[in-house]
Amino acid sequence: MDSSDIGIAQRGPMRREGNSLPMTLADWLAYLDRIHPRSMDLGLERVGRVRDLLGLFPAFPILMVAGTNGKGSTCAYLRATLKAAGYRVGTYTSPHLVRYNERVVVDGIPVSDAQLCAAFARIETARQGISLTPFEFGTLAAVDIFQRTPVDVAVLEVGLGGRLDAVNLFEPTVSLLTGIALDHETWLGSTREAIGAEKAGIFRAGVPALCADPDPPLSLLARAAELETPLWLWGRDFTVERQAQGTWTLNMPHQTWSDLPAPSLSGDFQYRNAALALAALQRTAVRVTPEQGRRGIADVVLSGRFQTLRFSPQVILDVAHNPQAAQELAHNLEKAPCAGRTRLVLGMLRDKDRVGVVRALDTQVDDWYLADLHEERGACREEMEPELRGVRGTVQWHPSPEQAYGAACAAAVAEDRVVVCGSFVTVGKILALHGGLPEMRQNSP
């Protein structure tokens, strides 16, 4: 997940009179959207000054997770495993799917509106006129809540890149990189080498790091060498051996964990995400046993990651929004073909590689249901239609993801499947139609 894919917060008209603070979470989110001239403004100087004014220097261990795809899954494996080991875990991820509170989770439960409003109020009082983006506000609020709770350990997901992301203000106990692919090229660069250099910005001198990319960019390796960062690489320092019955073995230096269950999230790449999480925990003073690791890997629930929402016709939700993620989605669809037609609901943001996503999915789609996203960065019909020319399936356009989804479901018969993808916004709107996130409902107080 990334900070630029803002999602569908509980927005409403901002109510603020004179010098009074916003009252509700909806008021705060509307206010945060208006106080900085740009929704994205990479850099650590402004937010660093506010961190200092707030005194946010956590003593708890921090597991910092960056990468192009797989960050959310890796954070979920870390959270579930640490919870199985008895730790009180704070997890900060972005964007959210349905409710903003999903971003800040303590002990498996999203924090309340009141906790978020109180944290925002503390930041607003402390910042002394220093301008912050919504993501910077949210990052400071999460760490403020974790420090006040307090938590035993925190998992912090980098929003975009690494070097200049607000999460990088804090000092990791271990740094995790899931993989490097082209995305957010306007901000991070147009090559894997440039993007790798930005993501390697979370490395620290002498602080353990791991990278699960099978072919890490040379820029990333060079940064680790320059800082003398002890770096574990996928395929060299930690590897997976899969057994026929679905179990697997994690090999690490001086340690092997066997009989691990198949990850509860779908996709072959989830073995790599799960291995990254378990191996990273072995590089900290946070003690986790193999049995606790087994429970954590088996217990993970995370919406929007090849999630089957219902059967007959089957509905699958996946937040794939760049070509690499779309290729993985296409691979999952190919491995589990349906007897009928595959009807794809697609809504994307303007700054994504829409052509690359369409090409990756084209061989698996019989009918395209395109949706207009009424967001600041949402792609409209005029932008998307040229990119669908030449696809093998039928194409129709709808004014919203909800209407596109309704049309796909109405046309589907029992043997068909409806797949929803393209952005967190699109998937979040469909999840909201079905009552929100099951993992958040089951953890609600």
Q: For 106-117, what is each residue's pLDDT tens digit?
A: 999 999 999 999
pLDDT category of residue 16 using cuts at 50, 70 and 90? very low
Q: Residue 438: its pLDDT value, please?
A: 65
Q: Residue 188: its pLDDT value, please?
A: 59
Q: Does domain 307-440 have CATH number 3.30.460.90?
A: no
What is the model's pTM?
A: 0.90
Structure confidence by residue, pLDDT tens digits, 50-102: 999 999 999 999 999 999 889 999 999 999 999 999 999 999 999 999 999 99
Write the CA distances from 329 to 177, 190, 251, 322, integer angstroms: 21, 23, 27, 11
Q: Residue 439: its pLDDT value, please?
A: 60
**pLDDT above 70 (res 193):** yes
Average pLDDT, the chain: 89
Lowest mean pLDDT of 25-34, 141-150, 155-164, 365-374, name the range. 155-164
**pLDDT above 70 (res 349):** yes
pLDDT category of residue 351 using cuts at 50, 70 and 90? confident
Please report the sign of the dihedral spanned by the C-alpha atoms of residue 101, residue 106, residue 108, residue 114.
negative
pLDDT category of residue 147 using cuts at 50, 70 and 90? very high
| Class of the CATH-defined domain 25-302 | alpha beta
Q: Residue 442: its pLDDT value, please?
A: 42
More confident residue, 238 or 377: 238
Residue % of the chain over a pLDDT of 90? 74
Q: Residue 10: its pLDDT value, please?
A: 36
Q: What is the mean pLDDT of residues 275-293?
A: 96
Q: Residue 7: its pLDDT value, please?
A: 33
Q: What is the mean pLDDT of residues 311-322?
A: 93
Q: Residue 40: its pLDDT value, please?
A: 61
Closest CA to 387 of 417, 362, 418: 362
Q: What is the mean pLDDT of residues 12-32?
A: 75
343: CB partners within 8 A, 6+ apart: 365, 366, 367, 369, 408, 411, 412, 416, 417, 418, 419
Domain coordinates in residue numbering, the chain: 25-302, 307-440
**pLDDT above 80 (res 14):** no
Structure confidence by residue, pLDDT tens digits, 253-274: 999 999 999 998 988 889 999 9
Strand order of the β-sheet with 109-110 is: 109-110, 104-106, 89-92, 153-157, 62-66, 174-177, 209-211, 231-233
**pLDDT above 60 (res 428):** yes
Residue % of the chain over a pLDDT of 70? 90
Cα 386 to its chain centre, rounded Å, is 29
DSSP per residue, 332-396: HHHHS--SS-EEEEE--BTTS-HHHHHHHHGGG-SEEEEE---STTB--HHHHGGGGTT-SSEEE
Residue pair 213/236 in contact (Cβ under 8 Å)? The answer is no
Cα 110 to its chain centre, rounded Å, is 15
**pLDDT above 80 (res 15):** no
Q: Residue 385: its pLDDT value, please?
A: 81
**pLDDT above 50 (res 12):** no
Lowest mean pLDDT of 66-70, 186-190, 317-321, 343-347, name the range. 186-190
